[in-house]
Amino acid sequence: MYMKTIDDFDFENKKALIRVDFNVPLDSDFHVTDTNRIEAAKPTIIKVLEDGGSAILMSHLGRPKGQRNPDLSLRHICGAVSDIIGVQVKFVADCIGETAEKAVADLQSGEVLLLENLRFYAEEEQGDREFAGQLAKLGDIYVNDAFGTAHRAHASTTIVADFFPGNKCFGYLLAKEIQAIEKVMRTGEKPVLAILGGAKVSSKITIIENILDKVDDLIIGGGMTYTFVKAKGGKIGDSICEDDKMELAVAILKQAEAKGVNVHLPVDVLAANDFDNDADTQVVAVDQIPDGWQGLDAGPKTLEIFKEIILKSNTILWNGPVGVFEMENFAKGTIAVGNFIDEATQKGAFSLVGGGDSVAAVKQFGFEKKVSYVSTGGGAMLESLEGKSLPGIAAIIGE
């Protein structure tokens, strides 16, 4: 797949209209508490400036629902963006209309302008064409670098691209996201392994069905485990289970077998007599959990099996923890899986981590720099794995 990226353009004396994802967390004093998304956009912005162009940044923050909520103004993050980019970022208190257009007209090469929150206008989320046209007036070249919103057909992520025939491209971050998913789903070196965890089968059905044609091995962990185990006739005690998904679990196992995919379920678990970090625990066979007990983490034999599978894989997708990692006593399995993936990556495997909880676990336990790539977009990442076309990506590739 050919992708037009920011490297295909020279931005000298050009104004780059860049859709970034600066939907960052703020504390009660409006200080940014996690700057990862801003740091991730920096290389794209710097490329434009070093070419001799200027950068107009547009983003949303929170869910103002078309109302001007001063608590959700992007003014609050301007200082943090300036510090990270290394350039004093200008701010304009609107994103369309005369005020924004004048601020853009006054912008010199080498300067950066941050527009006000796009979602102060309901037209942004509605994908309104007229609103997108007003945004388009602000730049010569449209750059989408916001993977976190690529699955939304919003004005600034999708519709605006129509106004830039031949002058639209992906920023470095979004290009890397697309390449990482391509590597797992299409071009990855075999054996390809997917590790799917989390609580519910229902939230992963479409991912499982879509990746069965792409993977050699599938590890199922976390709360999903018990729906599969019960469906196979095992005793799961008080463990989480979606009874209405048991038939589906059996069907998935049959489908995997027909496609030659090895499915690996835990063989033992760390069970507790309460959903509490300080509960009594015991290691039991995954299909022999006593009544009154629930499985909350992968057991030692399971982790030995997982280690062997992970270390023989050349391409690894990790989506979802294998235990209740938020509680220290049930985080060991997720940490162990992180360590195995780290070891495999050091040996040359490509590892992609994506999806809310697994990304949170990777950050919490310091694996960010130990895997090949950590996705910045939860919903967009999941929809990509489900095989869906993302509007924000299609809008640029589709010419």
Q: Please give the residue range of the domain that contains residue 253.
A: 177-385
399: pLDDT strictly greater than 70: no
Residue from 79, 110, 133, 356 carrying the catalytic annotation: 356
The DSSP bridge partners found for residue 289 are 236
Active site residue 370: no
Residue from 4, 90, 200, 301 carrying the catalytic annotation: 200
d(C-alpha 38, C-alpha 183), whole Å: 25
Average the pLDDT over 67-80 and give the result: 96
Q: Tell me: the pLDDT tens digits for 270-303?
A: 999 999 999 999 999 999 999 999 999 999 999 9
Residues contributing to the annotated binding site for (2R)-3-phosphoglycerate: 37, 119, 152
Residues contributing to the annotated binding site for ATP: 204, 295, 326, 355-358
Q: Is 398 inside a domain boundary?
A: no
Q: Is 396 inside a domain boundary?
A: no
Residue 264 tokens, joined: 């690996």
Q: Where are the beta strands (DSSP E) in the chain?
A: 15-19, 54-58, 90-91, 112-114, 141-144, 168-170, 192-196, 217-220, 235-236, 262-264, 268-272, 281-285, 288-289, 294-298, 315-319, 350-353, 373-374
Active site residue 356: yes
Active site residue 190: no
Q: Is 186 inside a domain boundary?
A: yes
Q: Is 358 inside a domain boundary?
A: yes
**105-129 in b/e burial notation, b at 16+ Cβ within 10 A?**
eebeeebbbbbbbbbbbebbbebbe
Q: Tell me: the pLDDT tens digits for 335-366?
A: 999 999 999 999 999 999 987 688 888 889 99
Average the pLDDT over 59-65 and give the result: 94
| Range with lowest mean pLDDT among 83-92, 100-109, 171-180 | 171-180
Per the structure, how many domains does the chain have? Answer: 2
Residues contributing to the annotated binding site: 21-23, 37, 60-63, 119, 152, 204, 295, 326, 355-358
Residue from 14, 37, 176, 332 carrying the catalytic annotation: 37
89 and 184 in a single domain? The answer is no
119 and 198 in a single domain? The answer is no
Residue from 133, 234, 379, 387 carrying the catalytic annotation: 379
CATH number, residue 310: 3.40.50.1260
163 and 259 in a single domain? The answer is no
Active site residue 307: no
Residues contributing to the annotated binding site for substrate: 21-23, 37, 60-63, 119, 152
198 and 112 in a single domain? The answer is no
Q: How crowded is the C-beta side of 102, counted as CA atoms within 13 Å?
A: 6
The DSSP bridge partners found for residue 317 are 194, 352
166 and 237 in a single domain? The answer is no
